[in-house]
Amino acid sequence: MNFGFALQAQDGAARAGLLSTTHGQVETPTFMAVGTAGTVKAMTADSVRATGAKVVLGNTYHLMLRPTAERVARLGGLHEMMDWPGPILTDSGGFQIMSLAKLRKMDEQGVTFRSHLDGSAHHLSPERSTQIQHLLDATITMVLDECTPFPATHEQAAVSMRLSTRWAIRSRAAFIARPGYGQFGIVQGNVFEDLRSESAAALVEQDFEGYAIGGLAVGEGQAMMFAMLEVTAPLLPAQKPRYLMGVGTPDDLLGSIARGVDMFDCVMPTRAGRTARAFTSHGVFNLRNARFIDDARPLDATCACLCCARHSRAYLHHLFRAQEILGPMLLTTHNLTYYQSLMTQARMAILEKNYAIYCARTRAGWENAKHG
Amino acid sequence: MNFGFALQAQDGAARAGLLSTTHGQVETPTFMAVGTAGTVKAMTADSVRATGAKVVLGNTYHLMLRPTAERVARLGGLHEMMDWPGPILTDSGGFQIMSLAKLRKMDEQGVTFRSHLDGSAHHLSPERSTQIQHLLDATITMVLDECTPFPATHEQAAVSMRLSTRWAIRSRAAFIARPGYGQFGIVQGNVFEDLRSESAAALVEQDFEGYAIGGLAVGEGQAMMFAMLEVTAPLLPAQKPRYLMGVGTPDDLLGSIARGVDMFDCVMPTRAGRTARAFTSHGVFNLRNARFIDDARPLDATCACLCCARHSRAYLHHLFRAQEILGPMLLTTHNLTYYQSLMTQARMAILEKNYAIYCARTRAGWENAKHG
């Protein structure tokens, strides 16, 4: 199957689409489960599938250090290794180098750094990042970019964005096209409209299979993030998928879909699942809270996941208090299922031209958290 | 369904039987998965079922402290709370008090101790232990006993065993009989034949639904344990199930079945599953070992569990190196499946009067560990 994206419906700027890849089709909007080191934390591949997730994200930085891209390739690629035959998107490694690696040194060529695991020296260039993602057998490869710090001056943001643009062009040249595989460019430019515009124009010229919006959700706040989406999304080709990187809360997702985003990834539902934070149709709560100690109700009565179908809040409370691994296992299952059901319902609402009402009702539900 | 045990076949002293309970039937020999605090560590109830396990064991000491027996009862009992409708056996709490609790004080009445969790004071008597297990809705209730230290003098062992006998009689009196539920006495007497004999005789008089052999696997060594089984098993009624508590390695299990034991429990397969130790038909090995880093073979090619069917040793090695929760999840699944398949095959061999050959072949397989 060739790589492609069909826009199926629009409600305002909100879009419903169908992404086609060699590893399967994905209805959008879609939320991708983060599987950093070749596993969605605390989940088997089967339990990830059961949440409704269609795409898993792998982190190039983690995988290049351990088990290494060459080793993953020898094991048949990431799909085979982690038992995920569906689509896999890999990031470029740039973002994690900035947040995790030691002794970073960046120049035009790329970035040299030391592993946070064992201090070993590594080099990542646009070409090497693209090659690593090829070795991992990524369905969707991301270009290497520099993540501009926030806040940044217009000058800093411009210099950084233009470097990212040159790297995007080199990443594109290094990408080995195969049927059903794609590569996404990443729009940078911090919170400056003119830079976002310049970045988008340069990337569109490269005719990527999709476009990501990067450098948001880094501290600028939801209002500024939404403003930047309103500027950026219209600059991107309507017939290509749009991916907002590293976002976010359920409310961020609804607002971003309203502004034309099709794809998301975020550690939030999985990380929260390991720290007892539950995302539900009644809002967010922490299951370690003593008020759940005798609460025999399901976590979310509107949810059909294993956790909600079989267990009580009191049991989940007990598992987290007792530091049992089953707590993170069940709550990650629920949180990912909740994120997927948000996407499924958002899609349905868009198809029915009912998206604004759906968002209003969903947000009203979250306000009920205080009632239980 | 009434509680009962049907002896279906014997091969030498090895037995195949069928245990019937209100929560379902169990073919023996059987290995019970340890679910200390209301969860088999790193496993969902569904994944425990998939290993073939039929009985889960709950620990009274852990559950009485957290979430408390009364709370479990309000949540509908342990079956309902942990989504395990099958049989559950609970221990009496005695053994764990000795190994975990602080400031223990024991007298004829029972034992007073402080919680290892918060220092709170608690009292456990034969009557209270039996009541707690009733509140937990245990399918099989164990009598409260004192675990004689090892080594002990004949005098110490006799005093301790006789206290356990008096407690067993009080536990029996406190047990509320219900159709399909049972209570097991526990033979003590350390490594002294005459004491084992005295203990067994006194317990058999109480007409328990089954008999456990306690106080073994505490440091006496396999040869002495087997010797004690040879002394004790013949003293127990043939038409009642026999349960060897806290045992053991795969080799311990095969040898104990050969000496007339029907039921086992042990933390070994689950604990090992969290520390990268794999039990396989090729023997035991540690998946953190560097020799597995590029090993694309399944952990055990003869095993049909999720872990062996879908993943490589190299992936498991990676998961343990990266400290990913999926490592313990997959390896616990495998280890429990391996223990269950040992039991299933042992049963089949007994039915075919082929048990000695089965054991010899299985042990020969373990010797292959060095070949990979």
What pLDDT is stored for residue B200 in this prediction? 98
Q: What is the pLDDT of residues A211-265, one digit of tens each?
A: 999 999 999 999 999 999 999 999 999 999 999 999 999 999 999 999 999 999 9
Q: Tell whether pTM > 0.95.
A: yes
Q: pLDDT at residue B298 above 60?
A: yes
Segment B130-143 mean pLDDT: 98
Asked if B66 and A329 come within 8 Å (Cβ–Cβ), the reply is no
What pLDDT is stored for residue B98 in this prediction? 85
Given CB atoms, is A310 within the 8 Å cutoff of chain B?
yes
Q: What is the pLDDT of residues B250-267, one digit of tens each?
A: 999 999 999 999 999 999
Within 10 A of A27 (CB to CB), how many other CB atoms are there? 16
Q: What is the pLDDT of residues B54-110, one digit of tens each?
A: 999 999 999 999 999 999 999 999 999 999 999 999 999 999 988 888 889 999 999
Which residue segments constitute the domains of chain B, with CATH numbers given?
Answer: 23-266 (3.20.20.105), 282-371 (no CATH)
Given CB atoms, is A12 within the 8 Å cutoff of chain B?
no
Confidence grade of residue B370 (pLDDT, cut at 50, 70, 90): low
In sequence order, the 6+-apart residues with CB closer than 8 A to the CB of A7 are A15, A16, A17, A238, A239
Asked if residues B113 and B101 have their Cβ atoms less than 8 Å apart, the reply is yes
**Tokens (6 digits) for B277:** 């130790």
Within 10 A of B117 (CB to CB), how many other CB atoms are there? 13
Confidence grade of residue B369 (pLDDT, cut at 50, 70, 90): low
Q: pLDDT at residue B371 above 70?
A: no
Chain B, 144-173: which have a CB under 8 Å from a chain A CB?
none
Asked if A41 and B324 come within 8 Å (Cβ–Cβ), the reply is yes
Given CB atoms, is B321 within the 8 Å cutoff of chain A?
yes
**CA-based nearest residue in chain B for residue A310:** B83
Q: Which residues from B are below 8 Å from A334, CB to CB?
A: none
Least trusted range by pLDDT, from A17-31, A96-110, B179-193: A96-110
Given CB atoms, is B70 within the 8 Å cutoff of chain A?
no
Residue-averaged pLDDT of chain A: 96
Q: What is the pLDDT of residues A29-50, one digit of tens each?
A: 999 999 999 999 999 999 999 9
**CA-based nearest residue in chain A for residue B48:** A326
Q: Which residues from A are below 8 Å from B293, CB to CB?
A: 67, 71
What pLDDT is stored for residue B149 in this prediction? 85
Asked if residues A254 and A223 have their Cβ atoms less than 8 Å apart, the reply is no
DSSP three-state, residue A71: helix
**Could you give the angle at which helices B326-351 and B355-366 cross, rounded to 10 degrees?**
150
Give the residue from B326, B329, B330 with the most A CB atoms within 10 Å of its CB, the best one to mutate.
B326
Q: pLDDT at residue A101 above 90?
A: no
CA distance B325 to chain A (A): 5
Q: What is the pLDDT of residues A305-358, one digit of tens each?
A: 999 999 999 999 999 999 999 999 999 999 999 999 999 999 999 999 999 999
Segment B199-227 mean pLDDT: 97
CA distance A72 to chain B (A): 9
Given CB atoms, is B296 within the 8 Å cutoff of chain A?
yes
A234, A230, A179: which is closest to A211 by C-alpha? Answer: A234
DSSP three-state, residue A58: strand
CA distance A133 to chain B (A): 18
Given CB atoms, is A76 within the 8 Å cutoff of chain B?
yes
What pLDDT is stored for residue A237 in this prediction? 98
What pLDDT is stored for residue B55 in this prediction? 98
A210, A208, A171, A213: which is closest to A191 by C-alpha? Answer: A213
Q: How far apart are CA B370 and CA B372, in angstroms?
A: 5
Residue-averaged pLDDT of chain B: 96
Q: Which residues from B are below 8 Å from A312, CB to CB?
A: 75, 81
ipTM value: 0.97
Confidence grade of residue B1 (pLDDT, cut at 50, 70, 90): confident
Q: How far apart are CA B339 and CA B344, in angstroms?
A: 9
Q: How far is CA B119 from CA B68, B100, B102, B104, in A?
A: 15, 12, 8, 11
Given CB atoms, is B297 within the 8 Å cutoff of chain A?
no
List residues of B with catalytic annotation.
Answer: 91, 265
Q: pLDDT at residue B372 above 60?
A: no
What pLDDT is stored for residue A371 in this prediction? 52
Segment B194-210 mean pLDDT: 98
Given CB atoms, is A297 within the 8 Å cutoff of chain B?
no
**CA-based nearest residue in chain A for residue B40:** A326
Confidence grade of residue A370 (pLDDT, cut at 50, 70, 90): low
What pLDDT is stored for residue B147 in this prediction? 85
What pLDDT is stored for residue A108 in this prediction? 97
Segment B272-299 mean pLDDT: 97
Q: How far apart are CA B85 and CA B83, in angstroms?
A: 6
**Tokens (6 digits) for B84:** 């395990």
Asked if residues B84 and B53 have their Cβ atoms less than 8 Å apart, the reply is no
What pLDDT is stored for residue A353 in this prediction? 98
Q: What is the pLDDT of residues B301-327, one digit of tens each?
A: 999 999 999 999 999 999 999 999 999
Q: What is the pLDDT of residues B27-62, one digit of tens each?
A: 999 999 999 999 999 999 999 999 999 999 999 999
